[in-house]
Chains A and B, each alone.
Chain A
Amino acid sequence: MTSVYIPEMARLVGVEQMTATEKLFTIELPNGRSLGHDPGQFVMASVMGVGEAPVSVSSSPSRSNGVFELCVRQVGDVTNALHGMEPGGWIGVRGPFGNGFPVEKMRGKDLLFAPGGLGLAPLRSLINQVLDERGAFGRVIILCGARRPQELLFRDEVDEWVARDDVECLVTVDRGDDTWDGHVGVITTLFHQISVNPRNTVAATVGPPIMYRFVLMELLGKGIPESQIYLSLERRMRCGVGKCGHCQIHDLCCCQEGPVLTYAQSKGVEEAL
Chain B
Amino acid sequence: MSETPSNGRPKIAFFDFASCEGCQLTVVDSLQTHLDLLNAVEIVQFREAMTEKGEDYQIAFIEGSCTREADEARLLEIREQADVVVALGACAHLGGVNALKNLHPLEDTRRWVYGDKADWYGTYEARPIGAVIEVDLAIPGCPIDREEFVRVVKAVLIGKTPPIPDYPVCVECKLKENVCLFDIGKFCLGPVVRAGCDAICPTYGDGCEGCRGFIPHPNQNAMKDVLAKAGLTVEEVMSRMTMFNTYQLQEQLVEEEGR
**Considering only CB atoms, which chain B residue lies closest to A80 in the complex?**
B159
Interchain CA distance A49-B157 in the complex, whole Å = 13
Q: Contact mask B153-177 → A, CB, 8 Å, 1/0?
A: 0000011110000000000000000
Query: How many whole Å from B3's CB to the nearest CB in chain A?
Result: 16
Within 8 A of B (CB), among A24-53: 49-50
A41-79 Cβ-contact flags toward B at 8 Å (1 or 0) = 000000001100000000000000000000000001100
The residues of B that contact A77 with a CB separation of less than 8 Å are 160-161
Instruction: Tell me the chain A residues, 74-96 only, with Cβ under 8 Å from chain B.
Output: 76-77, 80
Interface SS of B by simple majority? loop
User: Which residues of A are found within 8 Å of B158, using beta-carbon distances?
Assistant: 49-50
Q: How far is the CA of A80 from the CA of B158 in the complex (A)?
A: 11
Whole-angstrom CA separation of A264 from B257 in the bound complex: 45
- Once the chains are docked, how many angstroms separate the CA of A50 from the CA of B161? 10
Residues of B within 8 A of A49 (CB): 158
How far in angstroms is the closest Cβ of chain A from B134?
Answer: 20
Q: How far is the CA of A10 from the CA of B114 in the complex (A)?
A: 60
Which size bracket describes the interface of A in this complex?
A: under 10
Complex CA–CA separation, A99 to B31 (angstroms): 50
Output the nearest chain B residue to A49 by Cβ-Cβ distance.
Answer: B158
Q: How long is the Cα–Cα vector from A50 to B158 in the complex, in angstroms? A: 9
Interface SS, A side: loop
Q: How far is the CA of A77 from the CA of B158 in the complex (A)?
A: 10
* CB of B4, distance to nearest CB on chain A (Å): 15
B17 to chain A, nearest CB (A): 31
Contacts of B159 in A (CB 8 A): 80
A166 to B226 CA separation, bound complex (whole angstroms) = 67
Q: Bound complex: CA of A49 vs CA of B159, how far in Å?
A: 12
Distance of B151 from chain A, by nearest CB (Å): 14
CA–CA, A76 to B162, complex, Å?
Answer: 12
In the assembled complex, the Cα of A151 lies from the Cα of B161 at a distance in Å of: 26
Alpha-carbon distance between A80 and B56 when the two chains are bound, in angstroms:
27
Which chain A residues border B161 with CB–CB below 8 Å? 76-77
Cβ contacts under 8 Å, B160 to chain A? 50, 77
| Most central of B158, B159, B160, B161 by chain A CB within 10 Å | B160
Q: How far is the CA of A268 from the CA of B67 in the complex (A)?
A: 53
Q: Which residues in window 114-160 of B have CB below 8 A to A? A: 158-160
Give min CB distance, A147 to chain B, whole Å: 26
Chain B residues within an 8 Å CB radius of A76: 161
Q: How far is the CA of A77 from the CA of B161 in the complex (A)?
A: 7
A87 to B159, CA, bound (A): 21
A50 (CB) vs chain B CBs: closest residue: B160
Nearest A residue to B159 via CB reads A80
* A47 CB, min distance to chain B CBs, angstroms: 10
Q: How far is the CA of A172 from the CA of B83 in the complex (A)?
A: 40
A241 to chain B, nearest CB (A): 24
CB distance from B105 to the nearest CB of A (A): 46
**Closest approach, in angstroms, between the C-beta of A120 and any C-beta of chain B?**
28
Q: Find the B residue at minimum CB distance from A76.
A: B161
Q: How far is the CB of B33 from chain A (nearest CB, A)?
A: 23
Of chain A, the residue at the smallest CB distance from B161 is A77
Q: Indicate with 1 or 0, residue by residue over A212-232, a CB within 8 angstroms of chain B CB atoms.
A: 000000000000000000000
CB distance from B69 to the nearest CB of A (A): 38
| Separation of A50 and B159 alpha carbons in the complex (Å) | 10
Q: How far is the CB of B84 from chain A (nearest CB, A)?
A: 16
Closest chain B residue to A78, Cβ basis: B160
List residues 72-102 of chain B with CB under 8 A from any CB of chain A: none
Complex Cα gap A170–B24 (Å): 61
B121 → A minimal CB distance (Å): 36
B167 CB → nearest A CB, Å: 14
CA of A77 to CA of B163 in the docked complex: distance in angstroms? 11
Chain B residue numbers with a CB within 8 Å of A80 are: 159
Question: Bound complex: CA of A266 vs CA of B158, how far in Å?
Answer: 40
User: In the complex, how many angstroms separate the beta carbon of A79 from the nearest chain B beta carbon?
Assistant: 12
How far apart sit A77 and B159, CA to CA, in the bound complex (Å)?
Answer: 8
A77 to B155, CA, bound (A): 10
* Set of chain B residues within 8 Å of A50, measured between Cβ atoms: 158, 160
**Whole-angstrom distance between the Cβ of B169 and the nearest chain A Cβ:** 22
Q: How far is the CA of A204 from the CA of B159 in the complex (A)?
A: 37
A75 to chain B, nearest CB (A): 11
* Complex-state Cα separation, A77 to B160, whole angstroms: 6
Alpha-carbon distance between A22 and B229 when the two chains are bound, in angstroms: 53
C-alpha gap A49/B160 in the complex (Å) = 10
Complex CA–CA separation, A97 to B215 (angstroms): 34
- A114 and B159 CA atoms in complex are apart in Å by 36
Provide the bound-state CA to CA distance between A76 and B159, in Å.
10
Q: How far is the CA of A80 from the CA of B161 in the complex (A)?
A: 11
- Residues of A whose CB lies within 8 Å of any CB of B are 49-50, 76-77, 80
A-B contact pairs, 7 of them (CB 8 A): A49-B158, A50-B158, A50-B160, A76-B161, A77-B160, A77-B161, A80-B159
| 4 tightest Cβ-Cβ pairs between the two chains A and B | A77-B160, A77-B161, A50-B160, A80-B159
